[in-house]
Amino acid sequence: MQNRSTLKRATGGILAILCTVFYFTLWAQTTAELDIDRTASLSNRPFPIHIKGGLASEALSVLKFDLEVGGCDIVAEDAATYLVHASNSENITGRLTDQTGSVQYFNRSYKNGTTRAQAHALAGDILKVLTGQDSIFNCKIAYCINTSTDKNEIYISDFDGFNAKQVTQDGSLIRGLTWGAGNKSLLYCSYMRNNPDIYLHNLAEGKRSVIANFTGLNTSPSISPDGKKVAMILSKDGTPDVYVSNVDGSGLVRITQTAADEASPTWSPDGSKLCFSSRISGSARLYTVPASGGKMKRISTTGVGSATEPDWSPDGKSIAFTTTTRRSFQICVVPASGGMVEILAEGESPSWAPNSRTLVFSRKSGKKSTLVMLDVPTKKAKTIANVTGSASQPCWTR
């Protein structure tokens, strides 16, 4: 009798444990922050998403823009794979679920910053779940606004064009705009002294220092990943070639020495190589060279006839560039080792976001250029409508 009672108590205990485990697992599946299968992002299909709740117009507009930039389609609820439940009174609250609402990926309240900042944060969290990549919505872009046919000025804004601030008032032509080390400075070529010279512009102090002002062309500065070196194009010794110096312009080293024109150097993320455009074979093609100098190696760009304005993705896997057709410029991407080119959209001057997924570039329409964001896997493009004027040469903070 005692053994039977002991067995009954033991069996009851095991059943209690199993029930506890079952209900805990069920709770975890429906309420905890979950990861998802990201097959959709790998198959280049946009994420179908529906926004529910009572977001005010400003917050809703920001959230929609961000999600579309990130590769989402905003769809009706019955067509959605994911639901965003969001509202705001004093602060924005948001949660992401599956289409049925039974599986919850996160549920958060956003208390820091303005309504726009909170909406950006919510969008960033949604895309972190969908793509596994960190938010780019707190980044900034720099770009030029044309003031006349041959003059432009530099501006900096949030990635979506809001909170724009004018940086220069030179009444001159600026080319080769890029961010400096730590995003605390800008490097660019300016004709303000009647020669194309390269300047380092300290944004906090508003001071500029000359990096290169040799006779002839000084252009296309590009900061190394460690912030200690600058690659550039100089013609002081004949045709335009690639040079590298210290960030203050000292220690100048000639990297290429050809009879052709070189242009637009960009660093590999590890700082070991430079990619640039060269006409050594006739038409403009992409080449790499060791950053300390050495033999040039051509990058195969199968499918297009020319390649200019390369930008190496931060993850090192891809190089975006511009190709020229009879009618327009096209934004392209190719594996960093070379291969088949994917033509993405009409435009020029591509610049990678830190997530190595989003590009910003300019697109001409008549005499005006607009800035466009592109989600590379899905090829979804969004014009940055808040950037007014004719804008060109956009570049992301790194």
Every domain of the chain and the residues it spans: 39-131, 140-396
Q: What is the mean pLDDT of residues 90-110?
A: 95
The chain-wide mean pLDDT, for the chain, equals: 90
- At 44 the pLDDT is 85
The encoded tokens of residue 15 equal: 């059943």
Q: What is the mean pLDDT of residues 17-25?
A: 38
DSSP state string for 195-246: S-EEEEEETTTTEEEEEE--SS-EEEEEE-TTSSEEEEEE-TTSS-EEEEEE
Q: What percent of the chain is modeled with pLDDT above 90?
A: 84
- At 149 the pLDDT is 82
Q: What is the mean pLDDT of residues 62-71?
A: 97
Query: Where does the pLDDT of residue 2 fall: very low under 50, low under 70, confident under 90, or very high at 90 and above?
Result: very low
How far apart, in whole angstroms, are the C-alpha atoms of residue 47 and residue 52? Answer: 16
Q: What is the mean pLDDT of residues 221-245?
A: 97
Q: What is the mean pLDDT of residues 177-192?
A: 97
Q: What is the mean pLDDT of residues 155-171?
A: 97
Same fold for the pair 39-131 and 140-396: no
How far apart, in whole angstroms, are the C-alpha atoms of residue 326 and residue 277? Answer: 19
Task: Classify domain 39-131 by CATH architecture.
Answer: 3-Layer(aba) Sandwich (3.40)
CA angle at 244 for the pair 241 and 250, rounded to the nearest 5°: 125
Q: What is the mean pLDDT of residues 157-178?
A: 96
- At 319 the pLDDT is 98
Between these two residues, 203 and 26, which has the higher pLDDT value? 203
Q: What is the mean pLDDT of residues 153-162?
A: 98
Query: Where does the pLDDT of residue 354 fall: very low under 50, low under 70, confident under 90, or very high at 90 and above?
Result: very high
Q: Is the pLDDT reported for residue 334 higher than 60?
A: yes
Q: Which CATH superfamily is domain 140-396 in?
A: TolB, C-terminal domain (2.120.10.30)
How far apart, in whole angstroms, are the C-alpha atoms of residue 317 and residue 306? Answer: 20
- At 43 the pLDDT is 59
- At 33 the pLDDT is 54
Query: Where does the pLDDT of residue 325 fall: very low under 50, low under 70, confident under 90, or very high at 90 and above?
Result: confident
Give bridge partners of residue 187 from the DSSP assignment.
178, 200
Place of tokens 């033509």: 343
Global confidence as pTM = 0.89
